[in-house]
Structure 1
Amino acid sequence: MDFLRWLFDAQLPVGSSSLLVRELLGNIFGLLSALGGMRRKVWAWPVGILGNLLLLTVFLGSIFGSADTATLLGQAGRQIMFIAVSIYGWRRWQQSKTNGDAAVTPQWATGRQRIGLVTVMLLGTVALTPVFARLGSYEPVWADAWTFVGSLLATYGMAKGWVEFWLIWVAVDIVGVPLLFSAGYYATAFMYLFYGCFTLAGFFVWWKAKKNEKPQVEVLMPDIRTR
């Protein structure tokens, strides 16, 4: 209980403001998960889930934080979505390994699948914007909806092994970084800024891997953990 109380209350001073420790930890887990995803390691999924749980409490600001903390429903909702899709991806990669294959073999989405991704991205944003607005999400609400839908598609694309999922993350980061800075979530905003470069690198890594033989996969968690 003492540890949980510390985790929810602990802050790091940053200039004239402060930074929630759980926001920082959540993004560190996210970074590790992205690194594991680039290397197609099964442990990327459970590590990412831990980060999602921490960030869920961060973005439900008025519930877990002070009353004047911005609530980003799209950001909070996508953490729940991340957990659900990550369980699917985790099981899918483990099953592939059980069958004697690599955790995932990068592949290009078909033309129809690409059209589907773009259509869902646009229509999903339009559909969710008024919903998030009614629920009191932070302005501009469409940006919150965009990051939610894009994150859903990117995580699903990662589970399917589509190389294009990295580009979806780039589209999410382009909108998500300004939104998070304006809402005062500086640690997550800086992390997203880094993700933008990281996801571009990931795209080329998977593109190159698509041309090579299937890699061997590390299934167990590493002894030393360094998203």
Structure 2
Amino acid sequence: MDLVHWLFDAQIVIGAQHLLWREVLGNVFGLLSALGGMRRKVWAWPVGIAGNALLFTVFLGAVFGTPNPVNLLGQAGRQVMFILVSVYGWYRWTRRDGAAATTITPHWASGRERLLLVVALVGGTAALTPLFTALGSYAPQWSDAWIFMGSLLATYGMAKGWVEFWLIWVAVDVVGVPLLFSAGYYASGLMYVVYGAFTLWGFFVWRGQRVRPSSAVVVEG
């Protein structure tokens, strides 16, 4: 219990700013999970789940009584979504039933699929904004809704092998960085800057693999 209390109460004080260790550790775990995922390491999944769980408590600041009493419901909701996806991914990667690998060939989405992505992103953001407003999410609520919908669609696009999913992450980061800084989540805001650069790099890598028909991304399952 002492460790739990420390984890919830520990802070880094920089001038008048309070930075939660939970936020720092959650983002570090997220980065480690991303690096492990690139190398197809099974441990990437539980590490990512631990980071998502920590960040869930961080982004419900008003609920958990942190020094930054701000709720970002879209950010908190996406952590739940990531945990659910990670549980499935962890299960798939630890199965050894003769189908050891799944080959995913990066490809562009069709014109119709791109249109559906745009409609879902804009329409979902518009639909969730009043809900997040009513629930007391941090303003501007449309930013939080945009981040949630973008994260959902980017995860779906990655599963489909669409090159465009990297650009959706870029769109999430562009909105997420100023929102997180304005809400006082400085560690997460800085991590979004790192993720933004990483997603741009990933886009060009996948685009290069797409133009070589013989190439593929192999994901251990």
What TM-score comes out, normalization by structure 2 length?
Answer: 0.87
Deviation at 1:103, TM superposition (A): 6.2
Specify which of 199, 213, 216 is matched with residue 215 of structure 2: 213
Residue of structure 2 in register with 1:138 after alignment? 138
**Corresponding letter in the other structure for 1:127:** A
**Corresponding letter in the other structure for 2:158:** M
Distance (whole Å) between structure 2 residues aligned to residue 207 and residue 36 of structure 1: 22
Residue of structure 2 in register with 1:155 after alignment? 155
Deviation at 1:38, TM superposition (A): 4.2
Structure 2: give runs of 5+ residues left out of the alignment: none
Distance (whole Å) between structure 1 residues aligned to residue 11 and residue 67 of structure 2: 16
Distance (whole Å) between structure 1 residues aligned to residue 24 and residue 104 of structure 2: 29
**Corresponding letter in the other structure for 1:82:** F
- Give the number of aligned pairs: 219
Distance (whole Å) between structure 2 residues aligned to residue 110 and residue 92 of structure 1: 28
- Residues 138, 123 of structure 1: CA spacing in aligned structure 2 closer, same or farther, 3 A cutoff? same
Distance (whole Å) between structure 2 residues aligned to residue 98 and residue 137 of structure 1: 46
Deviation at 1:104, TM superposition (A): 4.1
Out of 117-126 and 77-86, give the one that drifted further.
77-86
2:76 is the counterpart of 1:62: no
Deviation at 1:58, TM superposition (A): 0.3
Deviation at 1:76, TM superposition (A): 0.8
Deviation at 1:202, TM superposition (A): 1.2
Out of 67-76 and 96-105, give the one that drifted further.
96-105
Residue of structure 1 in register with 2:117 after alignment? 117
Residue of structure 2 in register with 1:84 after alignment? 84
2:66 is the counterpart of 1:30: no
Out of 94-103 and 84-93, give the one that drifted further.
94-103
CA contact (8 A) 1:7 1:21 kept: yes
2:169 is the counterpart of 1:169: yes
2:38 is the counterpart of 1:6: no
**Corresponding letter in the other structure for 2:45:** W
CA contact (8 A) 2:103 2:216 kept: no
CA contact (8 A) 2:101 2:220 kept: no
Distance (whole Å) between structure 2 residues aligned to residue 120 and residue 94 of structure 1: 33
CA contact (8 A) 1:109 1:164 kept: yes
- Residues 190, 67 of structure 1: CA spacing in aligned structure 2 closer, same or farther, 3 A cutoff? closer
- Residues 6, 67 of structure 1: CA spacing in aligned structure 2 closer, same or farther, 3 A cutoff? closer
- Residues 67, 215 of structure 1: CA spacing in aligned structure 2 closer, same or farther, 3 A cutoff? closer
Structure 1: give runs of 5+ residues left out of the alignment: 220-227
**Corresponding letter in the other structure for 1:122:** V
Residue of structure 2 in register with 1:225 after alignment? none
Deviation at 1:178, TM superposition (A): 0.6
**Corresponding letter in the other structure for 1:85:** V
**Corresponding letter in the other structure for 1:86:** S
- CA RMSD after TM alignment: 2.5
Distance (whole Å) between structure 2 residues aligned to residue 88 and residue 186 of structure 1: 30
Deviation at 1:207, TM superposition (A): 2.4
Distance (whole Å) between structure 1 residues aligned to residue 135 and residue 149 of structure 2: 17
Percent same amino acid among aligned pairs? 65
CA contact (8 A) 2:150 2:171 kept: yes
- Residues 89, 122 of structure 1: CA spacing in aligned structure 2 closer, same or farther, 3 A cutoff? farther
- Residues 67, 213 of structure 1: CA spacing in aligned structure 2 closer, same or farther, 3 A cutoff? closer
Deviation at 1:88, TM superposition (A): 3.8
Distance (whole Å) between structure 2 residues aligned to residue 108 and residue 98 of structure 1: 30
What TM-score comes out, normalization by structure 1 length?
Answer: 0.85
- Residues 109, 88 of structure 1: CA spacing in aligned structure 2 closer, same or farther, 3 A cutoff? farther
